[in-house]
Amino acid sequence: MGVGRLDLYHQPAAEVTAKMGHRILVVNFKNYPEVLGEGSLRLAKAAASLNLGAVEVVVAPPTPMLYAVTSSVRIPVFAQRADLGEQGKSTGATIPESIKASGCAGSILNHSESRIPMDVLRAAIERMRSAGLISCACAETTEEALEIAELEPELLAIEPPELIGTGLAVSKARPELLTETAEALRDVGYKGTLLCGAGIVSGEDVSTAIALGTSGILVASSVVKAMDWSSKLRELGAAMSL
Ligand code: G3P
């Protein structure tokens, strides 16, 4: 029961997030060779064809593939970043209005591979909201997560950069980071959804992350580089609903 792309168009981001439920699996395609060009379509279609029950799968292909992907699948599609260029006379910026017009539901912001200053993040989240888009803002530490929580992104992902792409899961290597962040966000009344990422490769990594207080994951290499995309996604998704 995924949230269809067409449903997302006409609703405020907060409602969409509520509809997305409490289990979210965001697949960041990054710029791995497997997903450049047509590969993005194949991975997005593999993700869209799965029925993972209450788990909402979101795909985040490279910017040049956004419209092709949203035109081909009916699951939420995120950009990997959004820029604050002006709507009109600006060149090369991936602005929220363009992301929206491409049929996307939202964007990852402030990923550790694409960091932006806090004031820019604040403006980006506000502009994303005005454009009717969901923000998935990333934090590297609990302190940063707390700062970002004040900006009220719909999704907040905690990702220690040193574990990204290592195969050593944040949920196993830094369990205290997840419990502390979840607790700190609860204490300040953050109403969005906490995700985590970095090094997640197995269903066990996912179920541990959920047990530690997160509501979903942000994952890249273990899915993109899997021999069988569908079975890896099924493994990760199934572990969320246990
Ligand atoms: O955005 C997801 C991310 O940075 C985690 O990457 O390859 O460790 O799953 P990976």
pLDDT tens string 96-145: 999 999 999 999 999 999 999 999 999 999 999 999 999 999 999 999 99
Q: What is 5-239's CATH number?
A: 3.20.20.70
Which atom number of ligand 1 is nearest to the Cα of residue 163? 8
pLDDT band at 13 (very low <50, low <70, confident <90, very high): low
pLDDT band at 203 (very low <50, low <70, confident <90, very high): very high
Which atom number of ligand 1 is nearest to the Cα of residue 219? 9
Cα 160 to ligand 1 centroid, rounded to whole Å: 10
Counting ligand 1 atoms within 8 A of each CB, the residue from 78, 136, 158, 159 with the most, and so the one to mutate, is 159
CB 99 within 8 A of CB 79: yes
pLDDT at 10: 41
Which atom number of ligand 1 is nearest to the Cα of residue 218? 2
Q: How far apart are the C-alpha atoms of 241 and 193, rounded to whole Å?
A: 16
CB 136 within 8 A of CB 107: yes
pLDDT at 53: 86
pLDDT band at 17 (very low <50, low <70, confident <90, very high): low
pLDDT band at 6 (very low <50, low <70, confident <90, very high): very low
Q: Which residues are catalytic?
A: 111, 159
Q: How far apart are the C-alpha atoms of 141 and 235, rounded to whole Å?
A: 28
The average pLDDT across 212-221 equals 97
Cα 159 to ligand 1 centroid, rounded to whole Å: 8
Query: Which residue type, as a one-letter code, is found at position 227?
Result: M
List ligand 1's pocket residues with C-beta within 6 A: 28, 111, 159, 164-165, 197-200, 218-222
Distances (CA, A) of 187 to 149, 157, 164, 198: 11, 17, 27, 24
Average pLDDT along the chain = 92
Whether 19 shows a pLDDT value over 80: the answer reads no
Cα 218 to ligand 1 centroid, rounded to whole Å: 6
Q: How far apart are the C-alpha atoms of 138 and 82, rounded to whole Å?
A: 13
In the numeric block, which tokens belong to residue 133?
Answer: 């888009």
Cα 157 to ligand 1 centroid, rounded to whole Å: 11
Q: How far apart are the C-alpha atoms of 190 and 208, rounded to whole Å?
A: 22
Give the number of other CB atoms < 10 A from CB of residue 41.
17
Counting ligand 1 atoms within 8 A of each CB, the residue from 80, 156, 174, 218 with the most, and so the one to mutate, is 218
Helix (H) or strand (E) holding 216: strand 216-219
Whether 8 shows a pLDDT value over 70: the answer reads no
